[in-house]
Structure 1
Amino acid sequence: MAYHVKIDVSPIYEMLNSFLVYVTKKWIQHLDIGPEWILDVERKLSSNVRAALAPAATWPFDDFDVLFAWAAYKNTTLENQDFLDMLTELSADELFARVSSLMPSLTIEESTRIRNSYVPLLRLWDQHYCRNISEDHRVWLEEDAEEKRILLEKMGPELLIEYATAGVIVEPIAGLNEVILFPTVHNRPINMYCFYEGMMIIQYPVDIPEESEDEPPTCLLRFTHALADPERLRLLRYVSDEPKSLSEMCEELGKEQDPVKDQVTALRIAGLLRTHLLGSNRKEKYSIRPDGVSELNMFLESYIRI
């Protein structure tokens, strides 16, 4: 059964994403902004704000699934503070009802805890960080989302998702009715997914324009970094025949999981691997992405002006 794709865009997603990256340090070594972004933000925040935000680092990571679901199913187009006001004003029952059908294991107590814990910190984050984000970021995200809406009519759901995410494959899955797809800047170049009952959220990265034509584009540097390691090249050749899971790679290649996972991440970030999502159990398989090889040639020829 086919699923429906909704292209969404909102500063609320960027608020949640940037807050997630800051407090959890998740994937920071693989993000374009890198660990130096954390240090830069901390220099700009007062000690009181840093202390107020610090406890969130120990809270359950799955809390963000609830926050993103509330953001995805907001009633209207809201700004950050409007969204936080809405969460504050809803009763515990109303708040829970917003996402209970998407998350059957969520309790009303957990829903209330997440609202009461995160909303004050997100207000601080919006005030001291998000309001200083360049307006250009919002323009880039909105323009990209509009481009994807146009392409959706021409390409269809599956191909559009693969194109937007540079390789994520979401085949029709029993019970999957909707995929909400939205662009992000802070999480580039990775994709992030949230799985729900009957619905998925997929974030895809949007590259910011290069400041100088003389500088190699970031997308080209990802390719050259990924292909600079002979082990990664061997892995690409290995998955060229059929999709393989991480455990299959480790078993068949006789490798430890951590180094193989790092190699897969580098190739995936460069857009050289497809990621096949195998239902809501969060299992994945990987295969070579032919379009990625073509893009490597295109970006290289464009930069060196062949």
Structure 2
Amino acid sequence: MDVLNHSSRKRETYQVHVTQSVLWECALGIAAITNTPIIKTLEKPADYWEELKESLPVGLLAELDFVSIKNTWKALLQLLHKRDFHDLGEFTSYIQTLPMTELTFICLPFIGSKYQEIRRRASLGEESAMKEMMKLTSDHSFFPNYIEFICQANGKRLKEHLINVMNFWYEAIIEKDSYHLQTILKTDYEMKKKMLDKMPPEELVEWATGGVSYLPEPSVHNVLLIPQYIYRPWNIEADIEGTKVFYYPISNESITPNDQYTPNNFLVLKHKALGDEVRLRIVKLLYEHDRTLQDITEKLNIGKSTIHHHLKILRAAKLVEIIDAKYSLKRIALDMLSKELELYLNQ
């Protein structure tokens, strides 16, 4: 049935906020080194992580073993979202003074506004609420075990662990390079902040994250962008009440802030991807509407393996994605090209 839309209301979207701190880098570093399945996919090579582990003090290694078993890096990130901490001392003091029930509530994952009462009851020690949270998150890779641990943890030991692992990692890894880290994180933060009023929210999120399309969803009124270096090239998504969080990989030009000629990696990838006649033909086909691989091969009369190769390049450049078994053009990414080029030329 056709619908005539005479509504004057605009489609609701979210507000984008940007923040940065070396403390996020500290917590994410702890998460990275204890995430064995993903560590080989990080930008820093496997040799870097092996050599790093060999150089770490025994006390830190013991705490990292605990992180790898219990996934307490999640608790660190949850706690860091509670306020803007100026330094590690302020953060550790905050943990020390938190009542145990409040600490438990903060560390438990946010799983939706309608489940906040269950989360609160679980933090107060109600076993049925804990089990309900575990059931609600049963399809998540580690949430059920993490929830059970947080609800049953010895408060004093948990506080000691969180404080120790942050302090030990900061002293061993962050402190010696803190000036450089603070410089590049702040550079990227300033770049993204400058674009808050120049790009629509969805466009800004896709540009900052290097291609993540995040559409507005009910009860999410804010998106928080936090630059990180240690987890490049990955974006890490998280949810807190009313907010979607993206810990996004800082751009190439932020890593070399004194070199004004370093272009953003995705800007280069996009232009390379479009610098080919076949790929431009594919883009035009997808501009018309989404298509299957078979549709594209028939339209262009080119072998399926060749078309698949070109589509891989377009996907790597975040210009094309797969939706419901069809290839779809990421129009926002295409529309942003001129703005990204202008930003690079004027930086």
Flag whether TM exceeds 0.5 (same fold): yes
Of 163-172 and 202-211, deviating more is 202-211
Separation in structure 1 between the aligned mates of residue 48 and residue 26 of structure 2, nearest angstrom? 15
- CA deviation vs aligned residue, 1:248-279 (integer Å, no higher than 9, x gap): 99xxxxxxxxxxxxxx9997665444599xxx
Q: 1:86-110: per-residue Cα shift (whole Å, max 9, x none)?
A: 1122111333455779453543262
CA distance in 2, matches of 1:85, 1:112: 23
Q: Which residue of 2 aligns with 1:5?
A: 16
- Structure 1 residue 148 and structure 2 residue 192: aligned? yes
Correspondence for 2:29 among 1, 11, 18:
18
Q: State the secondary structure of the residue aligned to 2:17.
A: strand
Contact preservation (8 Å) 2:67, 2:73? no
* C-alpha deviation, 1:55, in angstroms: 2.7
* Secondary structure of the corresponding residue to residue 244 of structure 2: strand
Aligned partner of 1:68 among 77, 90, 104: 77
Change (3 A) 1:150 1:270: same
Post-superposition Cα deviations, 1:83-141, rounded to whole Å, max 9, x if no partner, equal: 12211221113334557794535432626846454332222111222212252221111
Structure 1: segments with no counterpart, 5+ residues: 228-232, 250-263, 277-282
* TM-score, with structure 2 as normaliser: 0.61
What letter corresponds to residue 61 of structure 2 in structure 1?
R
> Partner letter of residue 190 of structure 1?
W
Amino acid at match of 2:93: D
How many angstroms does 1:147 deviate by? 1.8
Is 1:92 the counterpart of 2:63 in the alignment?
no
The one of 61, 70, 83 aligned to 1:59: 70
Describe the shift of the 1:136–1:97 C-alpha distance in structure 2 as closer, same or farther (beyond 3 A): same
Code of the aligned partner of 1:176: V
Whether the 8 Å CA contact 2:63–2:164 is kept in 1: the answer is no
Change (3 A) 1:273 1:87: farther
Q: Identity over aligned residues, as a percent?
A: 20
Cα distance change of structure 1 residues 204 and 65 upon mapping to structure 2, 3 Å threshold: same
CA distance in 1, matches of 2:197, 2:335: 26
Aligned 8 A contact 2:286 2:327 in 1: no
Larger Rg: 2
RMSD: 4.2
Cα shift at 1:218: 9.1
- 8 Å Cα contact 2:30-2:73 kept in structure 1: no
Superposition TM-score, scaled by structure 1 size: 0.68
Tell me the alpha carbon deviations over residues 197-246 of structure 1, each in whole angstroms, 9 at most, x when there is no partner. Answer: 42211011113229999xx98938x959x98xxxxx9xx98x947679xx
Q: Paired residue for 1:256?
A: none
Match of 2:204 in 1: 160
How many positions carry a matched residue from both structures?
Answer: 262
**One-letter amino acid of the structure 1 residue matched with residue 62 of structure 2:** A
Structure 2 distance, partners of 1:50, 1:95, is: 24
Asked whether 1:49 is paired with 2:96, we answer no
**Change beyond 3 A, Cα 1:211–1:158:** closer
Distance 2:166 2:238 in 1: 20
Structure 2: tracts of 5 or more residues without a match: 1-11, 126-149, 274-278, 294-310
- Shift of the 219–94 alpha-carbon distance from structure 1 to 2, 3 Å rule, reads same
